[in-house]
Every structure is written in structure tokens, then in C-alpha cells.
Amino acid sequence: MFQEKQFKKIKSDFPIFSRKIHSDKSLVYLDTAATSQKPLQVIQAMDDFYRESNANIHRGIHELAEEATGLYEAARTHIARFLHIEDARQFIFTRNTTESINLVARTWGTKFIQKGDLILLTRMEHHSNLVPWYMLKEEKDLRISFIEITESGELDLEQYAALLEQQPKLVAFTHMSNVLGSINPAHLITRMAHDAGALVLIDGAQSAPHFPVNLTELDADFFAFSAHKMCGPTGIGALFGKMPLLEQMPPFLGGGDMIRKVTFEGFAVNSIPYKFEAGTPAIAEGVGFGAAIDYLEGIGMEAIARHEQELTRYALQALGAEKGITIIGPEAEKRGGVVSFSFEGVHPHDVAQILDSEGIAVRAGHHCAMPLHQRLNLPATTRASLYLYNSTEDIDALVKGLAKVRKIFA
């Protein structure tokens, strides 16, 4: 875990923790899996852009336009460095992880998936990595099968190996479950898929913010993630794609900036990545994305991962000792900082509402993973999710808040 002095400095970087909830309660934020809080460094970078460099990008030759373009494209370079990819052009800016996955489904999927082809997903996927493939299934009459999960909340790799014998075209899976917290063995899953002749798409929304990810070593064909879960702004995310695949894929949207030439007879597409980036993008958000990457790198992703694992271990022990609490998902060594649980006799929404009265922010519901909850035979769960600005004191506050829930519903 972070040393006390370092942790205080990190916590002080986030202005929101200076406010009070319900007038007098200190904020205990345990909802990072939904969105992270933003450090002053990111807020300041975006404010500076609007105050000093605001202009549209790529088209102008005046000083502001060139400054704005440089700042925006620098963010792409920072992202490539962060994920260990040499060619930053392989990162396409999107609105979020959801749009990144939809981009692959509507471009690569529309062009290369044929009737009867098989796509493999998992039982623990977020709706963002389910619905785009369901939509493509209706259009293409493809097949979808699911990698099962074990009772401990891990993927069943033996069953996965059997599914690969059916020669799927694509294996799409979450790097880390936003409900179970399970960190899936992405290197192994990817290698097995490639050996079977399938492409791989990884939903990295919950992994890129929390532990080191090396896309060169991982060798995934596509990797989708969002800025807002990694200390960056909302409204911007990115898709990594291998260059040969991006070159073969048709444009996603049509309009300005994604074209090289337009005539009354037709158009010619721009080079990658601009081929997939139609219209004026979220420029200030791109600047904020780059600042968030710099912030995380300044602390160190390995240090963040160690801090979260120790916190998760503490949380599992503390909550596991509480009467009526059932935690879902694997042990601390196999999960990230996500702890979802049920409280016997109390609906998750009631749990969350009572915790909120104490200034504790958690998530209640199906967490955009309704099929997983059906598989677990649970209508909903309460989820506490951790990040670099959380401490054991936050876990203690959660346990104390759950005691209030127990008292009210006794």
C-alpha cells in the first residue's frame, strides 16, 4: 500500500474529496468501476486548453490551430507509450469503450463476418461487449457461444478450449470483470484464440486504469478502453487495432476529417487513424486524457496495482467477517479492486441508499451485466470498487455503514 505521506499527497490531488456529502459527511467514494474521480492536474490541463489554445484541429494553419493539434496528437502518443505500442496511429479516439467495440462490430464485423460464423464471448461480459454482437447476429445470422465461469468466478479454460475446436472468427472478452473483479488470463486466452485461427478483442475498461498492460506482449488484435475510468474526462476513449486490420476495415462514420478527397462522384478515405475519426473530436477531453496518462505514469501502474490488491485483500477479509454478507468472485490474488456482494434480506438499492446517507458512494444493481447476474441467480448486487485514492479507512467506513443497514433492517 502507499506510504502515508504519498497517499495524502495523492488524495489531495482530487478536489472532490474536499466537499461534504449531505452537508456534514466526508465523501467515501467506492464507485470507481463506474467512473473515476479526476485529479487537479487533469482539470487544469483542460482548463488551460480552453483558456489558451482553443481551436479546431488538423485543418487550420494559424498558431492556435497548430497548438491545439499538437496537444491533441500528443495525447495519442502518450497513450501509445502507456500501453507499450510504438506506432501511435494504431490508437483511434472514440467516445468510450462502448463505441470502440461498436466500431469493430460495425466495420470489421460487417465486412468479414459471414452467415453461420461463430463469435465467442464470456458469461461475465458487460453489455457493451454483448449487445453490439447481438445486433450483428441479427444482421448476419451468426452464432454466439459463451465461455462459462466456474463457481469461484473464473473462466472455465477447459470448456474454452473445447469451444475453440469450432473455429470461431472472434474471441471477445473482458480483461477484468466489472462485477466479479476477476482478472482473466488475457495472454493465455489470446494465444489459444490465435492458435485456433481467431482474432481477439479485449474490453480493457477495467484493466487499463488499474494495472500495467503491455499490448505488444499481449498481442490482442483489438483493445478498447475509456479515459473516464482512469482519472481522465468523460466523453473520450480509444480503440487499439493492429494496422493490417485497420487498413482493411471500412470507415465507421462519414464526414469531415475522415476523408482525403471528396468530389461529386464520391470520396477517398483519409489515412489511419483519421479514417475512423469523423468530425470535430473531443479536443479538450483528448488533452485531459493525455494529462491523466501522465498522472498515472507519475505514480506508477505497478504501485497502483499493489495498493489496490492490498486494499482488496483487506476489504474481502473485513466484509467476509460480516454476518449476512455474501461476496461473489475469486480470491484477492485473482481479482482487481472490485467487491460485489449481496446482503441477506436487504435489496442492494436499500443498502446503497443507507450508505449514501453516511457519505459512502457504492453502486447497486446489475452493473450493466444482467446476463451474469442471471447466471449467478442474483437479481442485483451491491458493488464497492477501489482505486488509488482509497484507503483502509474507506473500507472501515463501509463496514460501519453496513452495520447501520443491519440495524435498520433487523
Same domain for 71 and 26: no
CA distance 222 to 239: 7
User: Angle CA(222)–CA(225)–CA(229) in degrees, nearest 5?
Assistant: 165
Domain limits for position 173: 44-298
pTM of the model: 0.97
Q: Which pLDDT belongs to residue 60?
A: 86
Same domain for 201 and 60: yes
Q: Which pLDDT belongs to residue 59?
A: 82
For 8, 98, 99, 274, 286, the CA distances from 281, given in Å and listed in that order, are 35, 16, 14, 11, 8
CA distance 183 to 300: 19
Same domain for 105 and 24: no
Same domain for 133 and 87: yes
CB atoms within 10 A of CB 281: 20
DSSP 93-141: EESSHHHHHHHHIIIIIHHH--TT-EEEEETT--GGGTHHHHHHHHHH-
Same domain for 307 and 283: no
Please indicate, yes or no, if residue 102 is contained in any of the structural domains: yes
CA distance 251 to 257: 12
Same domain for 71 and 12: no
Same domain for 158 and 23: no
Which cell goes with 386?
477501489
Please indicate, yes or no, if residue 38 is contained in any of the structural domains: no
- Residue owning grid cell 470448456: 159
Same domain for 261 and 124: yes
Same domain for 293 and 265: yes
CATH number for the domain spanning 373: value is: 3.90.1150.10
The yes-or-no answer on residue 231 being catalytic is no
Q: Which pLDDT belongs to residue 302?
A: 98
Please indicate, yes or no, if residue 221 is contained in any of the structural domains: yes
> Are residues 217 and 187 in contact, defined by beta-carbon separation less than 8 angstroms?
yes
CA distance 241 to 219: 10
Q: What is the pLDDT along the chain (410 residues), one digit of tens a residue?
A: 899 999 999 999 999 999 999 999 999 999 999 999 999 999 999 999 999 999 999 988 999 999 999 999 999 999 999 999 999 999 999 999 999 999 999 999 999 999 999 999 999 999 999 999 999 999 999 999 999 999 999 999 999 999 999 999 999 999 999 999 999 999 999 999 999 999 999 999 999 999 999 999 999 999 999 999 999 999 999 999 999 999 999 999 999 999 999 999 999 999 999 999 999 999 999 999 999 999 999 999 999 999 999 999 999 999 999 999 999 999 999 999 999 999 999 999 999 999 999 999 999 999 999 999 999 999 999 999 999 999 999 999 999 999 999 999 97
> 3-state DSSP call for residue 86?
coil
CATH number for the domain spanning 184: value is: 3.40.640.10
For 107, 142, 160, 193, the CA distances from 119, given in Å and listed in that order, are 15, 8, 12, 11
Please indicate, yes or no, if residue 36 is contained in any of the structural domains: no
Domains of the chain: total: 2
User: Which is catalytic among the residues 192, 305, 368, 370?
Assistant: 368
Please indicate, yes or no, if residue 224 is contained in any of the structural domains: yes
Please indicate, yes or no, if residue 39 is contained in any of the structural domains: no
